[in-house]
Amino acid sequence: MQRVTTRLADGRELLYYFDGSAPEGPMPQDRRELAAHRPASELRYDALRDEWVVVATHRQGRTHLPGDDECPLCPSTAERSSEIPAQAYDVAVFENRFPSLAERAGQSADDRGPTGEAPELFAVRPGHGRCEVVCFTSDHDASFADLAAKRVRTVVDAWCDRTAALSELPEVEQVFVFENRGEEIGVTLAHPHGQIFGYPFVTPRTRRMLDSVRGYRARTGRDLHHDLLTAELVDGARVVARGEHWAAFVPAAARWPFEVHLYPLRRVADLPALDDAERDELALVYPEILRGLDRVFGMRMPYIAAWHQAPVRLDRESAWLHLELFSTRRAPAKLKYLAGSESGMDVFINDIAPEHAAAMLRGDTKAA
């Protein structure tokens, strides 16, 4: 894999990752006339939940479900310039034009924020961080599951490279690599792509998991991730895939109709810590899990694929890198919606037994 770095017309960084050698000569330049990139974003503190909420009003104007001939992630042509100036590419990563968080985040004139004499209740700070878009292929009609292992390995190396780079930013406390696929999930661009967020705080989900790991270690002296992974492999009923370096299973308490957790068998804190053998096997096992998901109902399933990595500076010895993959589809024409119990109380209700979901993902049983 080779990387070439350039800039878009408004100053945003663009990086090309190549399966093999990079082409000779300079990369094509962005021909568009764009104003300097000055996104408006701020963080507001929810004291009752002890969580930060991102307010990014400029995102109301982001591109929403454009026609295929207007896709901003396809390569540029002589007739039309997109976010990617090259007329062909393997993998491209660039700063989001409509980021939730940004290194140069400023406050909109219309966003004056809460006022009063209780700053501890209404804390506000700039939405500093980083949001990047990762384009897996120049093929608009492809999906991650379609990619050859060599291309997947390039994507994995790009994830590792960008996680390391964002982790060095002084304002970033956690790096989140993820993919949303399908309009049912809320995707606004059909081109196969994912995203990377550099958060200026440790996210609520990660804090809860790390609290559980620390509490379990205090009670038992053992590692919670290790014991959960071992127990799933010994039970076997929910195991979806097992290799030399990776294992995937439907968790016993799955929240979603189809949910798979993919773990490296060796504890590592984040993606950059994976060695070459682990990256090679990941490039094989992960697309196969995605293909299994699509086989369940014979259609492309909407999904979210979320990589859980250790915070940049805290509790790295308590974290265990893993992927959480889940789909909101529970039947060919039915979706799982977050209704009162899930949205109001964070208590999930699953219509499919995890053991049955695992069997469907393995192809052991057909959909009812």
Instruction: Say how many C-beta atoms besides its own lie within 10 A of residue 356's C-beta.
Output: 16
Q: Contact, 248 vs 241, CB < 8 A?
A: yes
**Which segments of the chain does DSSP mark as H helices, in order?**
149-167, 204-220, 224-235, 276-295, 345, 354-362
DSSP state of 57: G
Catalytic residue among 128, 191, 193, 322: 193
Which among 155, 135, 140 is positioned nearest to 287, based on CA atoms?
155
Tell me, yes or no, if 193 is annotated catalytic. yes
Q: Could you tell me the strand order of the sheet in which 51-55 lies? A: 51-55, 42-46, 124-126
Which among 242, 199, 366, 248 is positioned nearest to 298, based on CA atoms?
366
Residue type, 36: A
Task: State phi, psi for 345 to the nearest 5 degrees.
Answer: -125, 0
The DSSP bridge pattern shows strands 258-264 and 246-249 to be antiparallel
End-to-end CA distance of the chain, in Å?
Answer: 44
Residue type, 234: V
Whole-angstrom distance, CA of residue 106 vs CA of residue 239: 47
> Within its chain, how far is the Cα of 32 from the centroid?
29
Q: In the chain, at which residue ranges do the beta strands (DSSP E only) sit?
A: 2-7, 13-18, 42-46, 51-55, 91-95, 124-126, 130-135, 174-181, 193-199, 239-242, 246-249, 258-264, 303-308, 322-327, 329-331, 334-335
DSSP state of 23: P
Q: Which residues are catalytic?
A: 193
